[in-house]
Structure 1
Amino acid sequence: MYEMLYSSLVSQLLVVAVELGLADALADGPRDVDDLAEAAGAHPGALYRAMRALASVGVFTETAPRTFGHTGLSETLRGDAESSMADLARYVALPARQRAFGAVGHSVRTGHPAFDHEHGMSWWEYFAADPAIATLFNRAMGGMARMVNSAVLESYDFGRCRHLVDVGGGQGHLVAMIAQRFPDLTAVVFDLARVVPEAEAVVAEAGIGGRVRCEGGDFLEAVPAGGDTYVVSWTLHDWDDADAVRILANIRAVLPPGGEVVVIDEVPPGGDAPHFGKFQDIVMLTLLKGRIRDAREWAPLFERAGLHLREVRATSSPTSVLVAERA
């Protein structure tokens, strides 16, 4: 219990490690802490204490007295790592976000987002007011998407799809991975207009610009027609039931006979079984009006949108793949 109460210090030290560029500084091998401190602009004695604490939980390793190198966990904090979590650390450290979690008791007592209570605006309004923060959020979620996507591709065969529409597709990392694997597939990445340039950059870098279009709009109003498969990845949990149904109903309005809706989201098990989604649900409670839904809560949501939930497939990641069709 003592360790659990102090566990937030791990998160704080991880953020400091990213801010100081420690993982990048160790890219070429272990370094003495005095040398590392000079490179990072940190106090040698204090940095040693921080590195020792992180090494005790598997982040970095003390290869010799006062000398530290990488572990598998610390490698994920490198900015050039394939699935870097450095931007996620920066996102977690946002002062406005931290302040909201300091007031999570408000959410538990009232059922309303502590973020709104603390800042007088919604999470989405906060992003709209600061494009730089919105971009950081998109990069952080893009990093998470890259890690989850490979597991998703092993659980659902997008090879049957001819034209894919990714609703709330963010920077387009999922579409990029799918389109690279299936060269006959065409796709649309659909998200807010301000995200389109970021998605276009990802699509261009992936070399699939001739087959993928990035389109701006509001999925609460409508989604692009013409797809035979519609994907909603790590998005519906951000919204309450009414808005989640609205998004799904907008997809149902343009879904052709035989088309499929593929929702990628956490589906935590019942009982005491540990699952990432059970704490992700507290993030939703604190910041937004959405929720992480268990298996019993998903089917009625699809039904209200005129869809039938055909199956739920677990993946090797914390997310599951939910496949639905026209009811």
Structure 2
Amino acid sequence: MSTPTGSAHERMMRLLHAPVITQALAVAAELRLADLVAEGPRDVKDLADASGTDPGALHRVLRALAAEGVFTETAAGTFAATPLSDTLRGGADSLRDWARLWGLPERNAALGALRHSVRTGQPSFPHLYGTSWWTHLATHPEQAAIFAGAMGDLSRRLHAATLDAYDLSDVSLVVDVGGGHGHLVAELLRRHPRLRAVLLDQPAVVARAAAVLGPAGVADRAETVGGDFFTAVPPGADVYLMSMILHDWDDERAATLLGAVRRAMRDDSVLLVVDAIVPAGDVPHDGKIRDLIMLTLHPGRERTEAEFAALFAGSGLRLTETREVGASTGLLVARPAD
């Protein structure tokens, strides 16, 4: 990580202005501006016509993003793509839906109420809206689609790459616990042609998995199961996988979930957990920022390696290996303790 430049006041101003850039990115993603400039530079009037926006206002957004390296102004009022803007294009390596997620007003309101969470230790989302984030998504399908797409953005690239740290070549059956619409399963099956998978999530969630597994050409090797993973998990798999699941829950609920997984595991089964592994001290880590999102939205949290080990031990599992793969995720390997 490069050392920040400028005076302390200048650096603090950049930190304070970061939410403005985030909202500009969310707007750019929603309007598909990166796709519009993918083939070459375009005049802002042309972009405004294509996106149904006001040319003057759009120019101000593009100018601000270009100053951050997202887009580049090649001539007065003409903007072109950059490697950063390419990450907001639709496609396999896209972060477009992840950016759109930051534009959801209820989510942003919960983050804006961080002070409530700090004072009470409780998530601010139910304080503001009288319901949980998950129940809110269930009743707002358009936002649920953005959330699912954002998780798909991460699963296809980041989480699947994290699992490359573990050798799956001799594995026959994986159960993805809380696997959503199946983006991670689809990527794993694509990478490992001999692998079979079971996707477990709520019935309404896995009902949409066909739209992911079919086009990926892996539907014949994937089974979907609708159910409650706190209660029962399909038994007898070689590998059980939880990708960004445990951080959604407090220690009590996480232990209940791990207990259900442990009951389903054979003595030689393996549990792979993809999650942030928060380091100690001042080390920069994305998990430390995401932990504040968890604080406002969920009863969950990001955890240290020691906290994961304690969770596993209380559920009849033992942590056997930890791999810090990147600044966003790590891989924890657990096996039955007896």
| TM-based fold match above 0.5 | yes
- What aligned pairs does 1:24-35 form with structure 2 within 5 A after superposition? 24-35=35-46
Q: Percent identity?
A: 48
Q: Does 1:48 align with 2:59?
A: yes
Verify the 8 A CA contact 2:27 2:103 in the aligned structure 1.
no
Report how far residue 317 of structure 1 moved.
5.5
Return the offset for 1:150. Answer: 3.8
Letter in 1 for 2:313: E
Structure 1 unaligned residues grouped into runs of 5+: none
Say which SS state the counterpart of residue 285 (structure 1) adopts: helix
- SS at 2:211 equivalent: helix
For residue 89 of structure 1, report the CA deviation from its aligned partner: 2.2
**Match of residue 104 from structure 1:** 114
Cα distance in structure 2, aligned partners of 1:114 and 1:125: 14
Amino acid paired to 2:69: G
Equivalent residue number for residue 5 of structure 1: 16
Maintained 8 Å contact 1:162/1:184: yes
* Contact persistence 1:151–1:317 (CA under 8 A): no
Q: 1:199 is matched with which residue?
A: 209
Residues 155 and 314 in structure 1, CA contact (< 8 A), matched pair in contact too: no
Measure, in 2, the Cα distance between the counterparts of 1:162 and 1:19. 40
How many equivalent pairs are there? 326
Give the Å deviation of 1:43: 2.6
Offset of residue 118 of structure 1: 0.5
Normalising by structure 2, report the TM-score: 0.93
- The 8 Å contact of residues 159 and 329 in structure 2, kept in 1 or not, is answered as no
Query: Any gaps of 5 or more consecutive residues in structure 2?
Result: 1-11
RMSD between aligned residues: 1.4
Give matches, 1:270-289, under 5 Å: 270-289=280-299
Q: Which among 259, 263, 270 is matched to residue 260 of structure 1?
A: 270
Deviation track 1:119-171 (CA, whole Å, cap 9, x = no partner) reads 11111221222233223211111111112134223201111211110000111
The one-letter amino acid paired with 1:129 is: T
Cα deviation 1:285-306 (Å, max 9, x = unaligned): 0000000001121111000110
Residue 294 of structure 1: which of 290, 304, 320 is its match?
A: 304
* Match runs of 1:1-327 below 5 Å: 1-79=12-90, 81-316=91-326, 318-327=328-337
Given that 2:197 and 2:221 are in contact with CA atoms closer than 8 Å, whether structure 1 keeps it comes out as: yes
TM-score by length of 1: 0.96
Task: Indicate conservation of the 8 Å contact 1:158/1:178, yes or no.
Answer: no
Q: Summarize the Cα distance change of 1:46–1:135 in structure 2 as closer, same or farther, 3 Å threshold.
A: closer
